[in-house]
Structure 1
Amino acid sequence: MSYKKVETSDREELRELQVERLRDTVENAYENVEFYRDQLDEMGVTPEDIQSVEDVRKLPTTTKEDFRDEYPDGLFAVDSEDVTRLHASSGTTGKPKIVAYTDDDIKVWSEVVARSLAASGAEAGDTIQNAYGYGLFTGGLGLHYGIEELGATVIPIGGGQTQRQVELMIDLESDVFTCTPSYALYLAETAEEMGHDPVDLPISTIIFGAEPCTDPMREEIEERLGVNGIDIYGLSEIVGPGVSCECHEAQEGLHIWEDRFLPEVVDPHTGEPVEEGEEGELILTTLSKEALPVLRYRTGDLTTLNYEECECGRTMVRMDNVTGRADDLLIVRGVNLYPSEIEHVILDLDGVAPHYRIDLYREESLDVMELTVEMEEGTTQSRQSLEAEITERLENVLQFSPDELDLVEPGGIARSKVGKVQRVYDHRK
């Protein structure tokens, strides 16, 4: 069942709403953000030129570098007294990206998260345990406000404290758990160490996001915890979590809430639009952000769009699970690889746990890759046969094999107790 009527609206009606909101967004950006006004003037584009959804292609793109160049508030469209809240990205690769919200922005954010929760199957009256980090990271508070908007009960425990997570989950009979996919597996491991069968935990749904989750990893989460795994997507620059979410009825792509966010998919190299169903880089334009209107943000995430009506009845476009990032491309000895490609190959094998690590080095001007893979608990395969199978599969599927393959026992790869897990360590920089 949809949370808002607009989710099942006729697409022509939706297009009319999108055009109206797109024009208002461009006007807000033009009048109140010098960065955008200068770019639009240079391109000879005015808000009046926006007459259709396709006219979004007349607009300049925005990148994460623009956020950092305009740090801290160069992209804000409102004065500081109108800002209700500030969030920020981690800033691990430079200055953090600062994002702002007005009162109305918070209301819209809460609504799209509530929509996402409803699509996942959560209902008013459910108890939802929120293990996303609270603070500058948008995950914790974004989910928190959406849970309250839905009318559910929130347990605001945040990240970490995994033994306590398990205890509270059991004692308070949590229905839904929200976290990163890697943390879901860590929770299962911790529950086992505490003497609990993870399948017997009371949760029936895990809503995971903030990092990519391949199909093998999803299957591992669902099997080990006996839950329905739902993928939620968002990014701080656009709003935070709640840009899109899977529906529990179909789980065939994530519905983008198109009345609030206008999606495009383009060739990451040329910037030109790709054919429907073809993979490319996701670009998003906000349609109702007051404090921080964002025009054509290049997310770097690779996906496809499917405009067919879903079996759940929603007409809003579905994006495929993010398969990788345009800026995560690894070039090793002239071979182009995405970590997600390696992950798909190795995690599809029996005897392998959904934990791996890639280390890149440069030795005497040559690139060297070391791949560490964790063996599955209870596997009967020998280390030698598993190494041979992984090497053969990588060679056959990707025409590539690592310089060193290291198989480690279950639990041999360090876990992150909270937040995102880093899979690639590039020591060449």
Structure 2
Amino acid sequence: MFTIFDDRLDAFARRTLDDHRRFDAGAWRPEEIEAHQLRALRETLRYVAARSPFYGELLGHLDESAIADLTFDSFAELPFTTKDDLRGRLLDMLSRPVHEGWIFYETTGTTGRATPCPRDNVDSLVNNTALSVCYRHVFEAHGDRHVIAVMGPNELHSTGDTFGDVCRNLGAAHAKMWPHSPVVGFPRALEVIREIAVTGVFCTPNVAMSMAREALRAGLEPRELGIRFFMFTGELATPGLLRNIGELWGATAYNCLYASQEASILGAVHGDGRLRTVPLNVYYELIDPETGRPVPRGEGPRQGELVVTHLYQGSKPLVRYRTGDLVRLSPAPATDAGGYPSEVLLPLGRVRDLIDLNGHGVTAYELESTILDRLAGAMDYQLVIDRIDGTDTLTVEVETRGGRPLPPDNVTDLVRAARDAWGCPLTVAYGRLGGVTTTGAMVSWKAARVHDRRRAPDAERRVALAMAGQREPR
């Protein structure tokens, strides 16, 4: 509604919506998308070099002639922006002062100094429009009269405002509730879900699992609470995890978002259940994380560290920002001819979360997929890595409903898969897991899920354990 008070923003919002609707309908030709991206890259460079103290130093050597002649190849020669830059330069990263934004956010600061992430109206209009256009397909697939629960980490995070705005755009009522908050808590969250007949939930996967355990302890059957779909963000979400949580709740579970507080929306789920890139808003590059060199483009999937540049000019555009995340980008499915024409984005985990198992470099996605594809019925899990007689071994600690053991065939299959993939002997142990597995969204997947006994806990694992001590065991 704020746009009706500003004619310029009102016109911008309408153009943005029209562009994304046309893209959603497959009306943008490839050459039109490339022209849009190159034009926007030039504008972002002009904008940040003139407004941001950091980029004024980093890119101030670019004159108008160099920017006007920019190509994708010459753009790839510009320096990267790193997380250390964000932590070290803080407000100097901004291209607009805080008072010119509409809201101030920051990163959680659990593993380092919190960095400022303000948004202005351009930031929110561009990002929330993309989400609204994509999520419309998901909401409509699950009926109407929706009441959505939005469960985020804290008040200085964008989750509540972003998803609340998207729900409003799609005509769905919503309630913001933080189950880990001492004011709300899981028991009250479950009461609200029942009282107002919640149909969908935005949350992390672990919040959904924690909420299911709380429901069972209260004598409630999760499948009978009426939730039709979950929209997950903030943690790794493999197909096995989505299936397990979906079966537990009798709902459809989506990995709905790939984003960060620093870089905003980088991927959104579409009606086919896959995460898609948003090429009208973001320019994507893949690099070799060791060398920094580009991953060659081809006709098939590409894999590497994701580097992003914002194609809109808001409070804090980033140029060639190394996300530190490994991803796989695949061409749009052939079945989407005439449909949403963007690549499928598959997050594989952070670069520094690669785990060596008997000489095999294993991504977080590969490890979790191999395990959870064979843990149907698991309500929570943790991986313990040991090294015995020169061989890396795995123990999968599992929490199941009522403590029931997994089907023997599943365990046999899991043991075989670990042996064949990584040469790891594997055992399964059962029990109630502590609060550390609930910290993934605040710290990291690896800190929350992996207990590597081969070495002393690193800083992130220590933070996760300290945070777990402040939470009720789930």
TM-score, structure 2 length as denominator? 0.77
- Match 1:115 to one of 129, 133, 140: 133
Q: Deviations over 1:74-120 (max 9, x none)?
A: 10111333132221112222212221222322322332332343242
1:58 lines up with 2:58 in the alignment: no
1:138 lines up with 2:161 in the alignment: no
Q: 1:407 to 1:312 in 2, by over 3 A?
A: farther
1:95 lines up with 2:95 in the alignment: no
Q: CA deviation at 1:354?
A: 5.7
- Whether the 8 Å contact between 2:94 and 2:316 is mirrored in structure 1 is yes
Match of 1:48 in 2: 67
1:182-197 to 2 correspondences below 5 Å? 182-197=206-221
Larger deviation, residues 194-203 vs 369-378: 369-378
What amino acid sits opposite 1:275 in the alignment?
R
What amino acid sits opposite 2:80 in the alignment?
T
Match of 1:22 in 2: 41
- Whether the 8 Å contact between 2:276 and 2:345 is mirrored in structure 1 is no
Q: CA deviation at 1:362?
A: 9.8
- Match 1:5 to one of 22, 27, 39: 22
Q: 1:255 to 1:368 in 2, by over 3 A?
A: closer
Q: Deviations over 1:118-143 (max 9, x none)?
A: 24235885321111234122222221
CA distance in 2 between partners of 1:318 and 1:107 (Å): 22
CA distance in 1 between partners of 2:174 and 2:406 (Å): 42
Match of 1:416 in 2: 438
Q: CA deviation at 1:165?
A: 2.2
Q: 1:367 to 1:396 in 2, by over 3 A?
A: closer
Q: 1:46 to 1:268 in 2, by over 3 A?
A: farther
Match of 1:213 in 2: 237
Q: 1:347 to 1:46 in 2, by over 3 A?
A: farther
- Whether the 8 Å contact between 2:400 and 2:430 is mirrored in structure 1 is no
What amino acid sits opposite 1:227 in the alignment?
A
CA distance in 1 between partners of 2:37 and 2:394 (Å): 47
Three-state SS of the structure 1 residue aligned to 2:87 is helix
Three-state SS of the structure 1 residue aligned to 2:417 is helix
Match of 1:204 in 2: 228
- Whether the 8 Å contact between 1:329 and 1:338 is mirrored in structure 2 is yes
Match of 1:316 in 2: 341
Larger deviation, residues 28-37 vs 373-382: 373-382
What amino acid sits opposite 2:449 in the alignment?
R
What amino acid sits opposite 1:99 in the alignment?
C
1:150 lines up with 2:170 in the alignment: yes
What amino acid sits opposite 2:166 in the alignment?
G
Q: CA deviation at 1:316?
A: 3.5
Larger deviation, residues 307-316 vs 194-203: 307-316
Q: 1:47 to 1:29 in 2, by over 3 A?
A: farther
- Match 1:265 to one of 286, 290, 305: 286
Match of 2:269 in 1: 246
Q: 1:334 to 1:230 in 2, by over 3 A?
A: closer
Q: CA deviation at 1:58?
A: 3.0
CA distance in 1 between partners of 2:223 and 2:364 (Å): 30
CA distance in 2 between partners of 1:293 and 1:68 (Å): 15
What amino acid sits opposite 2:21 in the alignment?
K
Q: 1:114 to 1:92 in 2, by over 3 A?
A: same
CA distance in 2 between partners of 1:43 and 1:362 (Å): 52
Three-state SS of the structure 2 residue aligned to 1:87 is coil
CA distance in 1 between partners of 2:258 and 2:113 (Å): 23
Three-state SS of the structure 1 residue aligned to 2:284 is strand
CA distance in 1 between partners of 2:69 and 2:138 (Å): 35
Q: CA deviation at 1:295?
A: 0.7
Percent identity, aligned pairs only, is 20
Match of 2:58 in 1: 39
Q: 1:175 to 1:370 in 2, by over 3 A?
A: same
Instruction: Give 5+ residue unaligned stretches, structure 2.
Output: 1-17, 459-474
Q: Deviations over 1:334-368 (max 9, x none)?
A: 553334333222223257726332456899xx998
CA distance in 2 between partners of 1:335 and 1:418 (Å): 24
Q: 1:401 to 1:56 in 2, by over 3 A?
A: farther
Match of 1:73 in 2: 91
CA distance in 2 between partners of 1:196 and 1:244 (Å): 35
**Alignment size in residue pairs:** 417
- Whether the 8 Å contact between 2:201 and 2:231 is mirrored in structure 1 is yes
Three-state SS of the structure 1 residue aligned to 2:117 is strand
RMSD of equivalent CA atoms: 3.3
CA distance in 1 between partners of 2:112 and 2:54 (Å): 20
Instruction: Give 5+ residue unaligned stretches, structure 1.
Output: none
1:255 lines up with 2:276 in the alignment: yes
Q: Deviations over 1:149-193 (max 9, x none)?
A: 333211112333222222222221222111001211222222233
What amino acid sits opposite 1:85 in the alignment?
I
Larger deviation, residues 223-232 vs 345-354: 345-354
- Whether the 8 Å contact between 2:118 and 2:315 is mirrored in structure 1 is yes
- Whether the 8 Å contact between 1:116 and 1:244 is mirrored in structure 2 is no
- Whether the 8 Å contact between 2:47 and 2:95 is mirrored in structure 1 is yes
Q: Deviations over 1:209-229 (max 9, x none)?
A: 111011110111111112222
What amino acid sits opposite 1:143 in the alignment?
F
- Whether the 8 Å contact between 2:306 and 2:327 is mirrored in structure 1 is yes
Match of 2:296 in 1: 274
TM-score, structure 1 length as denominator? 0.85
Match of 1:234 in 2: 259
Q: 1:213 to 1:95 in 2, by over 3 A?
A: same
CA distance in 2 between partners of 1:222 and 1:121 (Å): 16
Larger deviation, residues 40-49 vs 192-201: 40-49
Larger deviation, residues 265-274 vs 277-286: 265-274
- Whether the 8 Å contact between 2:209 and 2:380 is mirrored in structure 1 is no
- Whether the 8 Å contact between 1:110 and 1:146 is mirrored in structure 2 is yes
CA distance in 2 between partners of 1:90 and 1:258 (Å): 27
- Whether the 8 Å contact between 1:49 and 1:55 is mirrored in structure 2 is no
Larger deviation, residues 327-336 vs 23-32: 327-336
CA distance in 2 between partners of 1:313 and 1:274 (Å): 26
Three-state SS of the structure 2 residue aligned to 1:144 is helix
Larger deviation, residues 72-81 vs 187-196: 187-196
